[in-house]
Amino acid sequence: MRLFHRVGIANAMLVSTLPCLGADSAQASALIGKTLEASTRKPLDRVLVQIPELKRKVFTEASGAFLLGHLPAGRYLVTFQGNQLESKHVWVTLPTRDPLEITLNPKIPEVVVTVTATPWATHPMEAAQQTASVPHEDIFAGSGMSVGEAVAALPGVRNVSTGESSGTPMIRGMVNDRVRVLDNGVGVNYQGFSRRHMPTLEPLDADRIDVVRGPASVLYGSQAVGGAVNLSSALLPTAAEGKSSLGGRLSLGHASANDSRVGQAMLEGAHGGFGWRLSGTERVGGDTRTPDGDIPDTGFRSDSWSLLGGYSGAWGQIQARARSFENKLGFYVPGSPLFSLRLQDALQGLEGSLYTPIGVLEVNATRQENHRRAYSSGTSAAPTVNLILTTHTFRTHLKHLPAARLQGDLSLEYVEQENDSLARASSGQKTLLPDYGTRSWSMSLFEEWRQDADAEHGWIFSLGLRHDARRLDVSPDLRTGLENGLERSYCATTGSVGAVFRFTPRYSLAATLGRGWRHPSEYELFAAGTHDGVAAYELGNLNLREEKSMNAEASFRMDHPWFKGSLSIFENRFEDYIYLYETGLPAVGGLPVLSFRQSDARTRGIEVEARTPLGTSFELRGAYEHLSTHNESTGNALPFTPPDRASLGGRWSWVLQERSLRQGHLDIHAVWTGTGSPSGIDEPFGSRDGQLIETGSYLVWNLGAGTQWKWGRATLKSDLAVTNLFNRRYVDFLDTYKQYFPAQGRSCRTTLSASF
């Protein structure tokens, strides 16, 4: 009740700034047009037309025509995507007088917008920060089992793995509490206080995964000091008034490396302005296989489901959603052959959009419950760790209409958390963490100015400001310093400035300067006890201060028919960077004693990516990334600094429009990874038998192929992805099992999906 009382107050504060709304305040209008093949002028059907900011979509008819009704006034990015067609984006100011005519060329498709780098959808060429996306098709065909693996091939992004089913995304050397993981723009709190703690999300539920490289604290708060990873669901379907639609997808997959299987079923439909979607996913797998044999106790089983429904009208939209995720997995821990985890995560949310004379008002309220249980002696015994973290989030956004070439977003957010620790050690002390609660308020403003709103060239400037206030209350506990409980407050003001200059629609130069911050996590402050999952005894540090950073970045981008690519350089300087170190204290129960301390630090790097077509059916792709880090106190690199990486490969694709076999592709690429060097004795999972582990460089070949064909009204897709084609034995520096086993060997992943 307290949450909804505060929600009402915050909503009233923002809504009171709006004029009274009449029947005509929505200014509803329609967007109409048609899509044509560029050279033949033939109509294109089944082209997906979307306005991501308004959460509206429609497919073109056989005549190429499309209609999106009940749209508010404003300036929006409209995207056009089709199978084996170039993806195109067009800025449209509504209401508009003339229908659109969009021509598309045959081409290898790609993602053309980002919905994460700014408060509204925009083209990556026009975003001040570097962004990248992975579409659902790529996630399913080759990503494997985790969010970390799904995005690991993107430049600047890696996967911190612990077996096949546990992978955590790393951005430019930052991971867990420094990378904000989002579910449709709402932060997911998955208790990521260890590099082995994976986001509790099913990647196949996402229509796409966006990644923002570099601090995103202005938009997403404390934990986005290193970047953001956002899983976005597909927009709900709608139908014309009085009409209905029904569609769905069935997907199956198998991977040989650990005999893992996955199945997903999705059904969606619409009647008039009402749309809905229901999906369920199940995964199961055995022990991870390596050239040296299987890793014991690494099998898993995960189940998830999601339900989304909503209504779109001339006044706006309302949507409700619910999802559930559960993963039961084993962890290889020497001396604990039955160690396992049970992770559960559930979310319920309600959001609405109201079209007003001055812009779109959005309101969002969610409840998330994350339950983490660890069993050191198997599930037949009581859990040694039993944590329940409940999070209530409420956000209100006002995206005002363009005025004086300015487009902006004003946001208020309130977050309330409660942590319950249900397991106790033999001493009576609660294991790992005490009970605590937090209350956080934030306000942010993001404004963007365009030199010419209707041109694809000229200057784009952006400015973001945010203020966060956070209060932490800890219940009395047996830990030293918490006998009478504890209260602590944090506040921070962050900002960012960005500039993009588009020489022409094909070339742009971008620069950004951003201030980030991160409060110490409750684990870094209060940990006290055995952390079985990392085989260590860990102690918190009550004296930790807020972590602050200043990031500068510049990039050059090219989006030409015969060459696409970017070159980025960046530097991020930290004040009071928090890191784990080995204390040198006597071992407890045979385990080393680790704690947390702070130091100024720096990261800097370069990222290059390029794509160029060779003829009409072959595309050559390459990328290179280098990251260097420095700890000012030790003079060494920061722990878990990823080694250099380079890739080169190509895709051959074909289209057979006159036959049932419509299209196909063949991919082959090689990935080189350099030497991985530990930072010193503070390197997690970095030593064995007292010796630091340095991993050698290696080259791995991967192969992919796929076909698509029609069967009646259904579209069938089959894919084959072979990773580590030659079964190369190598050790991955970011694999937390590297102390004991090499990386996974050859794996053949086959998938089949049918859409209707």
Domain ranges of the chain: 31-107, 228-755
Q: What is the 3-state secondary structure (H, E, C) of 494-537?
A: EEEEEEEEEEECCEEEEEEEEEEEECCCHHHHHCEEEEHHHCEE
CA dihedral 258, 621, 501, 174 (to 10 degrees): 30
DSSP 27: -
pLDDT at 503 over 80: yes
Q: Which amino acid is at 320?
A: A
Q: Which phi and psi (to 5°) does residue 224 adopt?
A: -100, 25
What pLDDT score does 111 carry?
A: 64
Distance CA 39, CA 266 (A): 36
pLDDT in the model for residue 673: 98
**How far is it, in rounded angstroms, from Cα 211 to Cα 35?**
30
Query: Which homologous superfamily does the CATH classification assign to the domain defined by 228-755?
Result: TonB-dependent receptor, beta-barrel domain (2.40.170.20)
Closest to 605 measured CA to CA, from 156, 7, 89: 156
Judged against a pLDDT cut of 50, whether residue 20 lies above it is answered with no
Q: Which of 7-16, 104-113, 287-296 has the highest mean pLDDT?
A: 287-296
192-225 pLDDT tens trace: 888 888 999 999 999 999 999 988 989 999 999 9
For 25-36, write each residue's pLDDT tens digit. Answer: 334 578 999 999
Distance CA 570, CA 554 (A): 6
One-letter amino acid for residue 217 of the chain: S
Q: What is the pTM of this model?
A: 0.90
Amino acid identity for residue 739 in this structure: Q
Name the superfamily (CATH) of residues 31-107: Carboxypeptidase-like, regulatory domain (2.60.40.1120)
- The CA-atom distances, in angstroms, between 87 and each of 81, 184, 528 are 5, 22, 52
Alpha carbon 605 to chain centroid, angstroms? 21
Q: Which residue has the higher pLDDT, 604 or 480?
A: 604
For 622-667, the pLDDT digits (tens) are 999 999 999 999 999 999 999 999 999 999 988 765 555 578 899 9
Q: Residue 7: is its pLDDT beyond 70?
A: no
Query: Can you list the pairs that 657-664 forms with residues at least 24 positions away whose Cβ atoms lie under 8 Å?
Result: 660/709, 660/710, 660/711, 661/707, 661/708, 661/709, 662/83, 662/84, 662/708, 662/709, 662/710, 663/83, 663/84, 663/707, 663/708, 664/705, 664/706, 664/707, 664/708
d(CA 350, CA 387): 26
Question: What is the per-residue pLDDT for 689?
Answer: 78
pLDDT on residue 704: 95
Residues 6+ apart with CB under 8 A from 9: none
Calpha distance 366→414 (Å, rounded): 11
CA dist., res. 99 & res. 287, Å (int): 57
The yes-or-no answer to whether 31-107 and 228-755 have a common fold is no
Quick: pLDDT tens for 563-587: 899 999 999 999 999 998 888 888 8
Contacts of 586 (CB under 8 A, 6+ apart): 593
Rounded Cα gap, residues 398 and 496, in angstroms: 19
Average pLDDT over residues 406-422: 95
Question: Do 544 and 569 touch, CB atoms closer than 8 A?
Answer: no
Strand partners, 536: 531
> Does position 617 have pLDDT exceeding 90, yes or no?
no
- The mean predicted confidence, pLDDT, of the chain is 88
- Predicted confidence at residue 8, as pLDDT, reads 47
Q: Is the peptide bond before 215 cis (omega within 30 degrees of 0)?
A: no
pLDDT > 70: percent of the chain: 94
Q: Is the pLDDT of residue 318 over 50?
A: yes
Is 90 exceeded by the pLDDT of residue 275? yes
Q: Confidence band (pLDDT; 50, 70, 90) for 277?
A: very high
- Does residue 383 have a pLDDT over 60? yes
**pLDDT for 16 beyond 90:** no
What pLDDT is attached to residue 56? 87
pLDDT of residue 18 exceeding 50 = no
Over the stretch 453-467, which tens digit does the pLDDT of each residue have? 767 789 999 999 999
